[in-house]
Structures are given as structure tokens and as C-alpha cells.
Chain A
Amino acid sequence: MIELVLESLCTGCGECVSVCPTHVFDAGADGVPVIARAEDCQTCFMCELYCQADALYVGPDHDQKRPVDAQEIINSGLLGQYRRDSGWHEWAAYPEYASQFWRMSQVMNGGREITAARKLRLKET
């Protein structure tokens, strides 16, 4: 669930207010958005993907807020990770972050094979 709008990083562009699919944010008087309806947050991390300032932090629990310390989060290196690993915006210039989504069927087929082999092994023992 959405936890933080980091005022020290926010540029006030308003993108999160526009793109949040569940209308969590209101535009704030000073340009910094306000978390107005946290209970409608679906923990989809989409706001972080669209935030080029990496000024948003969504916590991992979908149904409850667990307050976190802003400075600790800034220091954690977690901010902007999803956007970077997705190769969005400035990260599009880095080949190491290019999408490898085409490997998905290999991943799932590999999982099916490994699970089938394990089940066979368990059956034999």
C-alpha cells in the first residue's frame, strides 16, 4: 500500500495524480500530491513506474499501511528500482535493463519440468 510521497524528491509534476488507476492521490496546494485515499491503493506500483523523480514509496502489504521512515527509505536504494529494472525513461539507454520478457515461456516451461521431475522423484522414494 502507498506509504510515502517524498517531498524532498517530488518535482510536483502531478503525473501520479493522473496515472493512479484507483484515484489515491489528490493534487496538493503546494504541488506535492497528497495521499488522500490510501485504502483504495491496489499495491500495483504503477505510480512508482511513472514517477521520474522516484519520489514515491509503496509498501509491500496490499491491505495495510506500515509506516516507514522517509530517510531510511531514501537510504535503502529501493526507490526507483522498479522503474530502473523496467528500463523506463532515462534507463532506456542502458542495455542491461532492456526487457527480456520474451524469456517468460522458457521460465514457465522450466518450472513445469523441474516440478514434474521433483514429483516423480518424490513418488519413487
Chain B
Amino acid sequence: MLNLETDVLIIGGGMAAGWAAIAAAQSGADVVLVDKGYVGTSGVTATGGPGHWWVPPDPKLRQEAVQRRMATAFGLAEPDWMARIIETTWDNLPTLAGYYDFQKTDDGKPHYNGLRGPEYMRALRHKALDAGVRIFDQFPALELLLHEDGAVAGAQGVQRLSGTPWRARAGGVIMATGGCAFRSGLLGSHTNTGDGYLMAAEAGAELSGMEFSNAYSISPLWCSTRTALFTYARYFDAAGHELDIASFAGAGDFLGDMAKALQAGPVYCLLNEVPEDVRRQFPQIQPATPVPFLRKGVDLYNDKFQVTLFAEGTIRGTGGLCVTGANCQTTVPGLFAAGDAATRELIAGATSGGGAQNSAWALSSGLWSGAGAAALARRAGRRVNEPVRPSGGIALRPSGTAKPFDTRGLAKAVQNETLPFDKNLFRTGAGSSASLARLDALWWDSRAHLHAEGLSAVHARETAAMIATARWTHAATLARPESRGMHRRTDAPQTIAAHARRLRIGGLDEIWTAPEVAALEEVFA
């Protein structure tokens, strides 16, 4: 057993975790970061290229940006929080200079708001290390540790490369484990199995907005890629007829059109309208994208290729751990949430925050939680001499007799309830009730009999986290008997003013839902 003591413990290794580590270290705290994978390659930023919500400090421009986005938040976002992330992002992103090579645009100005993923994560890693952060890669956390008063005291897990267990005690803990895409194959999301939701919920944390968990993104059938070039796409059915599908990243219902076309039969994409100069520059714009095409023997710009939609779950959805204050405290003392592990309803409401807003959120919530956890550790200390108890249940401490499980089969059963368009994109009360019943059965069987230790506990807990996340998704769908933003109930297509409030959800063995107490003003037309 490796024992670690620190002021601030960060669980996760993506963009939010990186910013959180930097902020905590810069405020003078001793910081330990543990990641299931490697800080630099883990998570969906590493394989992507996040733009950031980027509005100059002109009060009128910023107010307009917030108002524009409030109009598609369907009453669930907070203008003050939007303004905060715009300001925090503008003020802090350029501080990566020296670690990230901000290129100059054609007019000679440095371009700050869009960063290429692998280089962005490499920069965050090096800046964090230089700030004194101790990074432990390949250190998956399995569960949180709790004080007798219920406050989070640390975490424990296993070192993946050696199999040795580790335990970390800290004055403040930040959950930055990302969202959950249910292992859909979405690029970069294999590690995003909702681990942080499960660990936090076991410690008593509440979630919010789990009905907004049904984003999907377009890609070749055989490999999830980045999507920028699909802005040029033409689509065809198997007979070669061009399909009328709303334009990607524009107004209109691209996702609904594409899902219906895919339900009707195979869909093929053609990118032959990408101009010559873009084709020439693209390997240096996004070098990862052409790679799988070349290897598949598909001419990216001249061949038709079959496409599908990969589920993004809560990654491009907006649900996650509920935050209760300016420093992204969760509902559990000592525990903070950042990035996709936290709800993004405050800044995006019922519509996906897409790349730009979600990135601004990951940066900002990272910085805030880092500062908040450091302040808590300063105030309350590390409390390392107090007794603690582990809070993990499912797969670690079965309530019944252990029996062998096919965890990959279990994951497949969860995917059957979370990936299909007719269950998750186009939702109904009857459908979600049936899904929830099947998921409940999986939960109870696993809760009683699934038991894993050492390295196999990592996979078992990931699977358990997917079951838990899927149950919250369908339970929240049932608790919102209307359509709002990405949440589409085909049996309740209207948006109902009385439901214009965020929906809290929590519980593991028994799931509960409750509207947030204060109703929000209906701001959209």
C-alpha cells in the first residue's frame, strides 16, 4: 500500500483536472493528482481540439453573448455563471503561453481560444508539474474515504502498472473524472465511464440534469473522429439519393434528421466540397483526422463513406454532479466537482454546451474548485489523524454472496439501454420505465453478487458506474414529462413552463428525483 498525504487531491486527468491542479498549487497548496490513465492522453480533450467561449472584455459584447446563449438554455442556465466563465476563461487561457505555442493568425495576433488537444494537455501537464503538483498516472481511484462527520477525507485505488493499492488523505478532494459516454466508441471516451458520479454518489453527493445525457456525434461507421469537416458534408442513402439533413453545427435539427435517416437505412457521407486550400492545410490543422481514413483506404475527400452517430452521453450532454456554490462545492463537504463531472446546466441549460462553452466551463470550474479546495485545506487542515471509512459499495463490498460475472456482457446490457436512438434520443415514458426496470435488475444483481479485487476491480467499478449513470438518465427522463432542449420525449413534445427548473437526482439502491426549489424565470421565446 502506498500512502499519500496532501492538502488537495484531484481525481481525474483531463482539462478540468489540469486547471484545478494548477490553481490549487498556485494558491500554495500541496497537490496530488491521480488519474486512471495518463495526464496528456486521458479524456476527450486530449483527442480533440477545444475552442473556448471567447468574448473580449467589452460589457456590451459580453452581455450580448450571454443573452444569445440564454435563449437556447431553455430556462435552466444562470446568466451570472455564464458571465463568470467568459471572464475567467479570457483572463486565464493566455497564461498557458510558454507551455502552449499559441500560433499567430494571418493578421499577426496570437490565437488563444482554440487549442489542439494533445498539445493542450501536454501544456497543462508541464505547467502543473512546474507548479509543484505531484502527478500519479495510471492510478485509478476506486472509492472515496469519509470522515465520521461525513466530509470527504481522500480516496483509494490501485496502481494499474504494478497492481499495488494506494490511499490518499487530503483536506479537499476534487472530482474531475469527466462525463459518461457508456463506452459508445466515441473518440477519447473509453475512460469516461461515470466513475466520479458513482464515487461521489456513494459519499452522498447529488447530481443534476441527468436527463440531458443524450448528445451524439457524427463519424465514420468504423471509427469515431473529430467532426469539423462534417460542416461540409453531403449525405446519401444506399440508392445514392442525396438526403435533406439539416446542416451540422448550424440551425436546424441535424441530430434528429440524421438519427431518423440512420433508422431508415445506411447513410453515406461525401466531403467533396471541402476546398483545395483546406485539404492542403488540414494535416497541420488536425493531424489525427486523416489518419484512420488513409489506413482504411478511404479517400477522405472523394470517396463516399458510411457514417453513424456515436453517443456522447453526459460528455456533450449537460448533466453531472450538482454544484452548490461559487467554488463548485458539491452537496458533500470536502468534495468539489469540475469539468464534465459537474453539471453544466448553469452555463448551458438544456442545450449542449458543445465545445466552446464546455471548455470554458472545464477551465473555469477547474480553477475555482482548485482554489476552493486549497482554501478549505488551509482552513480545516488535512485531518490525517482522524479515523476514516471507505464509502464504496457495488463491486467492492457485495451485499450478498459473490458470484462470477461477465462484466463485458454487463456493460453491453447497459449500452442496450443507453445507445439506441429509440431509447435515448427519442424518449418515451413507457420506454424509459422499461429501461429503468431492466437496469434496476442489473444493479441489484451486481450490488449483491459482483465482487472484484485489484486490477479487475477497476473494470468492475467502471461497469457499475455505467449502470448507475444509466439508471439516473432514465429516472430523470421519467421525472421530466416534457421536451426541453436535447431532452426529447416523443410522448410529451411540448416544453412546459412549470418544468422550467433544474432536476436534482441522487441515490444508488433507491433513486430519488426532486426539482430544485427556486423556479427560474422562463427567458426563451
A35 within 8 A of B: no
B26 within 8 A of A: no
Q: Which of B274, B278, B287 has the most CB of A within 10 A?
A: B287
Cα of A99 to Cα of B292 in the assembled complex, Å: 19
Cα of A106 to Cα of B438 in the assembled complex, Å: 46
Q: How far is the CB of B449 from chain A (nearest CB, A)?
A: 24
A110 within 8 A of B: yes
B524 within 8 A of A: no
Using CB atoms and an 8 Å cutoff, list the residues of chain A in contact with chain B: 17-23, 27, 39-40, 42-46, 49-50, 59-63, 78, 81-82, 85-87, 96-105, 107-108, 110-112, 114-116, 118-119, 122
B231 within 8 A of A: yes
For the A-B complex, the count of residue pairs with Cβ-Cβ distances under 8 Å equals 175
A46 touches B285 (CB 8 A): no
B231: contacting residue among A96, A103, A115, CB under 8 A: A115
Cα of A74 to Cα of B233 in the assembled complex, Å: 33
Q: How far is the CB of A49 from chain B (nearest CB, A)?
A: 6
A104 touches B286 (CB 8 A): yes
A44: contacting residue among B41, B119, B137, B275, CB under 8 A: B41
Q: 6 interchain pairs (CB within 8 A)?
A: A21-B38, A82-B287, A99-B119, A101-B116, A111-B229, A112-B250
Main secondary structure of the interface of A (DSSP, over half): helix
Chain A residue, CB-CB nearest to B292: A60
Q: How far is the CB of B221 from chain A (nearest CB, A)?
A: 10
Q: Say yes or no: A107-B228 contact (C-beta < 8 A), given A23-B138, A42-B189, A46-B41.
A: yes
B294 touches A50 (CB 8 A): no
Cα of A78 to Cα of B229 in the assembled complex, Å: 22
B223 touches A62 (CB 8 A): yes
Q: Give chain A residues whose Cβ lies under 8 Å from the Cβ of B408.
A: 39
B191 within 8 A of A: yes
Cα of A45 to Cα of B16 in the assembled complex, Å: 22
B287 touches A85 (CB 8 A): yes
A78 touches B294 (CB 8 A): yes
Cα of A17 to Cα of B138 in the assembled complex, Å: 10
Q: Give chain B residues whose Cβ lies under 8 Å from the Cβ of A86.
A: 116, 118-119, 287-288
A23 touches B37 (CB 8 A): yes
B293 within 8 A of A: yes
B288 touches A122 (CB 8 A): no
A100 touches B46 (CB 8 A): no
Q: Give chain A residues whose Cβ lies under 8 Å from the Cβ of B105.
A: 102
B284 within 8 A of A: yes
Q: Give chain A residues whose Cβ lies under 8 Å from the Cβ of B296.
A: 60-61
B188 touches A44 (CB 8 A): yes
Q: Give chain B residues whose Cβ lies under 8 Å from the Cβ of A112.
A: 231, 247, 249-250
A99: contacting residue among B103, B190, B244, CB under 8 A: B103
List 7 A-B pairs, minimum CB-CB distance, nearest first. Answer: A111-B231, A21-B37, A102-B111, A85-B287, A42-B190, A60-B292, A46-B41
B47 within 8 A of A: yes
B275 touches A108 (CB 8 A): no
A18 touches B46 (CB 8 A): no
A87 touches B284 (CB 8 A): yes
- Beyond known contacts A63-B185, A104-B51, A115-B273: 14 more, CB 8 A cutoff: A45-B291, A50-B41, A59-B295, A60-B222, A60-B293, A87-B284, A100-B285, A103-B285, A107-B231, A107-B285, A108-B231, A111-B248, A111-B274, A119-B244
B185: contacting residue among A60, A62, A87, A98, CB under 8 A: A62
A100 touches B281 (CB 8 A): yes
Q: How far is the CB of B291 from chain A (nearest CB, A)?
A: 5
Cα of A23 to Cα of B462 in the assembled complex, Å: 14
**8 A Cβ contacts from B203-256 to A:** 222-224, 228-234, 242, 244, 247-250
Cα of A118 to Cα of B247 in the assembled complex, Å: 10
Q: Give chain B residues whose Cβ lies under 8 Å from the Cβ of A105.
A: 51, 114
Q: Give chain B residues whose Cβ lies under 8 Å from the Cβ of A98.
A: 103, 284
Q: Which of A49, A60, A110 has the most CB of B within 10 A?
A: A60
A62: contacting residue among B42, B224, B249, CB under 8 A: B224
A21 touches B114 (CB 8 A): no
B41 touches A114 (CB 8 A): no
Cα of A97 to Cα of B189 in the assembled complex, Å: 27
A103 touches B38 (CB 8 A): no
Cα of A39 to Cα of B38 in the assembled complex, Å: 18
Q: How far is the CB of A91 from chain B (nearest CB, A)?
A: 10
Q: How far is the CB of B248 from chain A (nearest CB, A)?
A: 8
Q: How far is the CB of B491 from chain A (nearest CB, A)?
A: 31
Q: Give chain B residues whose Cβ lies under 8 Å from the Cβ of A110.
A: 231-232, 275, 278
Chain B residue, CB-CB nearest to A3: B295
Cα of A102 to Cα of B275 in the assembled complex, Å: 17
Q: Give chain B residues whose Cβ lies under 8 Å from the Cβ of A45.
A: 288, 291-292
Q: Say yes or no: A82-B41 contact (C-beta < 8 A), given A44-B188, A100-B281, A118-B273.
A: no
Cα of A46 to Cα of B41 in the assembled complex, Å: 6
